Structure 1
């Protein structure tokens, strides 16, 4: 009895998808780190987000390597397989927490980005929104505008604020990101389930081998005393007196 090939193939396929999420996280982090600071994506993709992508990608890749080592010989590497499954559980908890946090941010866009516009964002960054949406200031020309932008040169009764543009951009970008995070969660769940199935199958195989070995050992123990007694009986019979 061996671990079925179909189970090992399923485990390998889901492990490859799980590994792909780690590579994707590193790739996206590398792409964003080369983005210019005045890009509108910076309202979502901060330095902390980029650092999180690199840490998560490296963690997932190392976790996948543990799974590869375990999958090459699951019968003899039980602890590796257990470590692989538990590490995925941690990944799922973190990914779910990040996804929920990003979703909650979409519910607080009004206060969050109004504060950021007035106190945190640089003029060059705010001008990126003003030039792309042809707006001025956050609520209007009197709310933190960058006067160098052509849109702020319009009469005050014709200029309008960038609040809707900022909110629309942030909402759509956050939606893409937390949707992608939840896709990662489902792929991690599939990898975890396949690892658990492989663990159950290898445990059954291990028990079957131990049962068979014990049965053979018991049969040998039962046969050995009988043959010894028979030999002694045969050797002692000619020496008995009539």
Structure 2
């Protein structure tokens, strides 16, 4: 027996302001999922020689699509729960737990990206020498006016105008690559932490809605029990009073 199904006029209800706040924060949370999918779609169409590819690899793009789809599905669960929180307690609980998983994953990803900015080192030397295409390396050489990674003898693209300078004016692109990677990682982990705060806000609003919903349920049960006890005194043993006398609030989902 659900308390929400008890036919009792209740002056208490989930306030409109609470539901609006829940809906607004849910919309922001949904926006992070849409943003993740949009970013994945944008990066997947990025030209191969784009310098951001040193950070946004194929694995990162796959993770963006997975994370975006997960958040959108989670938000749909929240919408279903928010439309009728009194009768969909388990949907609301599932929504909160799923956001909790999102927050943990986003926080770990943000910390990992932040730590990468602290220890760039020679992280990209191997990639420059063995993995990156000439067109990709040339984009760094042209923008940084440098040649090769450590110098003009370390994997240069000689067709780049920056490698045509006098030998004593040539220097490697390691500093240029590392500065670009560090600045791009900073933008990314800052964005991830913004997503964390949005997710946290959506989670807190869901928890507030759940608490208010539970209070409403308890109030209805208390009110219903008072009414049925009064009915039982006036008409003991009637089918209606027997039906509700055995009902327990613990049975409501």
Same fold per superposition (TM over 0.5): yes
Match of 1:38 among 49, 55, 65: 49
Equivalent position of 1:55 in the other structure: 66
Moved over 6 A (4+): none
Indicate the SS of the match to 1:110.
Answer: coil
Match of 1:186 among 197, 219, 226: 197
Equivalent position of 2:122 in the other structure: 111
* Structure 1 residues 225 and 61: alpha-carbon distance in aligned structure 2, compared to 1, 3 A threshold: closer
Deviations 1:94-151 (A, max 9, x none): 1011111111111221221122212221222111101111110111111111122121
Match of 1:211 among 201, 209, 222: 222
Equivalent position of 1:83 in the other structure: 94
Deviations 1:72-92 (A, max 9, x none): 000000010000000000000
Equivalent position of 2:24 in the other structure: 13
Task: Kindly indicate whether structure 1 or structure 2 has the higher relative contact order, using CA contacts under 8 Å at least 6 residues apart.
Answer: 2
Shift of 1:26: 0.7
Unaligned runs of 5+ in 2: 1-11, 238-253
Q: How many residues align?
A: 226
Equivalent position of 1:142 in the other structure: 153
Please identify which structure carries the higher helix content.
1
Q: Supply the distance in 1 between the matched residues of 2:233 and 2:130 (Cα, whole angstroms).
A: 86
Equivalent position of 2:8 in the other structure: none
- Relative to structure 2, which stretch is displaced further, 76-85 or 134-143? 134-143
Shift of 1:225: 4.4
Q: Supply the distance in 2 between the matched residues of 1:174 and 1:120 (Cα, whole angstroms).
A: 20
TM-score (norm. length: structure 2): 0.87
Deviations 1:5-42 (A, max 9, x none): 11111100000000011111111111111110000010
**Structure 1 residue 169 and structure 2 residue 186: aligned?**
no
Based on CA coordinates, which of the two structures has the bigger radius of gyration? Answer: 1
Equivalent position of 2:251 in the other structure: none
Shift of 1:178: 0.3
Shift of 1:44: 0.6
**Structure 1 residue 155 and structure 2 residue 171: aligned?**
no
Match of 2:232 among 215, 221, 234: 221
TM-score (norm. length: structure 1): 0.91
